[in-house]
Structure 1
Amino acid sequence: MERRTFLRASAVGGSSAVLGGTLWRGAAYAAPAQPGTGPYGPLGTADTNGIRLPAGFTSRVIARSGQRVGSTSYTWHNAPDGGACYTDGSGWIYVSNSEINPSGGAGAVRFSATGAVTGAYRILSGTRQNCAGGKTPWNTWLSCEEVDRGYVYETDPWGVKAAVRRDAMGRFKHEAAAADPVRGVIYLTEDVSDGCFYRFRPTTWGDLSSGTLEVLVAGSGTGGPVSWARVPDPSGATATRGQVSGAKRFNGGEGCYYADGTCWFTTKGDNRVWQYDAAAETIELAYDDSLVTGGGAPLTGVDNVTGTTSGDLFVAEDGGNMEICVITPDDVVAPFLRIGGQSSSEITGPAFSPDGRRLYFSSQRGTSGRSSGGITYEVTGPFRA
């Protein structure tokens, strides 16, 4: 995947702060995405599931909270949240967290090569408010607890191996995780209004039992060079975000996605999508609803994020008007789908099947507005390769 990440000569100026002799810009380091015509065209009328989609796309319901998944004996969990897909022979598996406290955990649905549901089962139990997480290159699922001094649990999408708590990854209000195999680190977001952006350096790549937790250090602006500093006490006896002087604050860290040297992460408190260039060690805004020109912002309540091989980012809304929006490599943001009649819910867990033809996601509270009303969907259609 290749997105445009070079710095435009016309970057917006503003107030500045000094970091290591380098000027920080108070506004965007490079012009963020603006509304435009998306690659899939306008949304059509709502289908039988209440979802508005572009031409050529269809939706189906995969699972509902409190009900058995397909013809399986597994009852789907409440408040489905972050998710990911895994290759399983000629088929695939979709895993999904449960953002309830207590009990939490995560479940999985197995699909055949034709997309038929062939199984469903629990992969994590007895945890608290498992919100988002991330997929590892060695095909495990990192399920993150969104509670004070929460843990990261490494789980088996096949449900064979027992889940393992990864204490070295720090105790804080975890949200999402994204693996960077080139630098051998896991990026982590923190969902509090004065949260931080972290990375975990395992002692041995592929083994998360030990390593170093670091926090991003930067100036007060929204673009420029950054550095990393070790968090002295990852146990969180003293809040991890308060241990390093100069740690950059982010307003409600949410989704996190890595591809080809860049990590994108979202902050719901200020409706921003951030872009960290891991090679250059710089940060900039990929999207900011307050900087949208010429009308209303199409993307608000930014939350979970995923991407495709075409370079498109798909960002789910918690709030807004229940959309998943696409941000293209040429910096256009547009709605991809909209769920009607579920204004008391949020969209969670977007993830593509391994062949890129199917998008999975959930409405966490569905039409009822309660955790017991969650609905997990699949959208199939001509996604860009």
Structure 2
Amino acid sequence: MNRRSILRATMVGAGAVALPFTTWSAAYAAPAQNGVGPYGPLQSANAHGIQLPAGFTSQIVARSGQVVPGTSYVWHNAPDGGAVFANGTGWIYVSNSETSAGSGGGASRIVFNSSGAITGASRILSGTNNNCAGGKTPWNTWLSCEEVSLGRVWETYPLGGTAVVRPAMGRFKHEAAAADPVRRVIYLTEDETDGKLYRFIPAVWGDLSAGTLQVLVAGTGTSGSFSWTNVPDPDGSPTATRYQVSGAKTFNGGEGCHYANNTVWFTTKGDNRVWQLNLSNNTYELAYDDNLVNPGPAPLTGVDNITGSTFGDLYVAEDGGNMEICMITPDHKISVFARINGQSGSEICGPAFTPAGNRLYFSSQRGTTGSSSGGITYCVTGPFRT
């Protein structure tokens, strides 16, 4: 099996099944550089103001403050992190709401049949604050993370069930989560200028009610080896979790996090970087740095949410920048896949593929209005390589 086939096989159901093959370390020996995208150049903006490569189309799935078409449910404000779950008859797209508890907060879901038509929508979490990103677990729950001081992780049940808080996963300014079924851990990013990268080891895999929180320890450079050390007090009070372990490596504004193929990719918005942890040999390196694109200009700024396709491509959304979703391919080339025009006061959130890999959902958090009530959730369909 060649490297591309291995990557394709192990990215399917990323976060659910990943086999212990070789990591992307060889492909990412140096940070990604500008290249021609696999789908060709962007075309003119369509009716939604979105530029896509030839053969791709977009549709509006839901708008904040408006009833989701075909349902009686009003879509939440400020849609943020998201994921897709197979449900046996189609799929479910889950989206966080990055607003205060008084404005709704929490998370919602939209249910689709096998042809992509909406069949339902409902809330799966409420009464929580600034639910920014999160992550999908292999047992089909959604970890909705609060991006506030002493924020919590809530385990929600898109397929049915009552949300439960998971304090053992630490209290800090949570951002994203990514499940590693090989090591049976959950990786967690922290949105602070001096944030850290954590992993949670459940006492029982599949049960997040108890376990051990650890923080990544490494040098100050952009590459090297790393290890994990227990966080003495996951409650984060009176001493914040990021200050409890000497030698814990600092990351400037942790954002999205994605696991596949014995590798974790996570983004830091403060320095526009995509980091890569090579779990097979416990080393880290840069997968992308906007200051290291030569020749420029750097296509990706405002680095935020990240996901992967069934083929093995990474898709990274911008918070600001040019309102783009950029692709990083396994041969370390970066290009622009999509651009939203006329929404400079917004950010792109929650990119997630359907199980078949032929539809990509994402949101513009504040849409054309620049306010949380103007959010728009989209779906892009086309010849994604799978």
TM-score by length of 1: 0.93
Cα offset for 1:101? 1.3
Q: Which residue of 2 aligns with 1:16?
A: none
Deviating beyond 6 angstroms after TM superposition, the runs of 4 or more aligned structure 1 residues are: none
Distance in 2 between residues matched to 1:142 and 1:31, nearest whole Å: 32
Q: Does 1:55 align with 2:54?
A: yes
Amino acid at match of 1:95: V
Amino acid at match of 1:183: R
Q: Which residue of 1 aligns with 2:42?
A: 43
Kept in 2: contact 1:196–1:241 (CA 8 A):
yes
Cα offset for 1:309? 2.0
Kept in 2: contact 1:4–1:330 (CA 8 A):
no
Distance in 1 between residues matched to 2:23 and 2:244, nearest whole Å: 34
Q: Which residue of 1 aligns with 2:13?
A: none
Q: Which residues of 2 match residues 309-324 of structure 1 at below 5 A?
A: 309-324=310-325
Q: Which residue of 2 aligns with 1:353?
A: 354
User: Given the superposition, is the C-alpha separation of residues 4 and 293 from structure 1 closer, same or farther in structure 2, using an over 3 Å criterion?
Assistant: farther
Distance in 2 between residues matched to 1:4 and 1:152, nearest whole Å: 29
Cα offset for 1:30? 3.4
Q: Which residue of 2 aligns with 1:108?
A: 109
Unaligned 5+ segments in structure 1 are: 9-28
Q: Which residues of 2 match residues 1-385 of structure 1 at below 5 A?
A: 2=7, 5-6=24-25, 30-102=29-101, 103-158=104-159, 160-237=160-237, 238-385=239-386
Cα offset for 1:295? 1.9
Identity level (%)? 70
Secondary structure at 2:352 match in 1? strand
Q: Deviations over 1:97-138 (max 9, x none)?
A: 000013310000000111000000000000000000000000
Kept in 1: contact 2:23–2:280 (CA 8 A):
no
Distance in 1 between residues matched to 2:310 and 2:339, nearest whole Å: 23
Kept in 2: contact 1:4–1:329 (CA 8 A):
no
Cα RMSD between the aligned structures? 1.1
Amino acid at match of 1:42: P
Q: State the number of aligned residues.
A: 364
Cα offset for 1:234? 0.1
Q: Deviations over 1:48-90 (max 9, x none)?
A: 1100000000000000000000020100000000000000113
Q: Which residue of 1 aligns with 2:16?
A: none
Distance in 1 between residues matched to 2:223 and 2:148, nearest whole Å: 29
Q: Which residue of 2 aligns with 1:25?
A: none
Secondary structure at 1:334 match in 2? strand
Kept in 2: contact 1:86–1:354 (CA 8 A):
yes
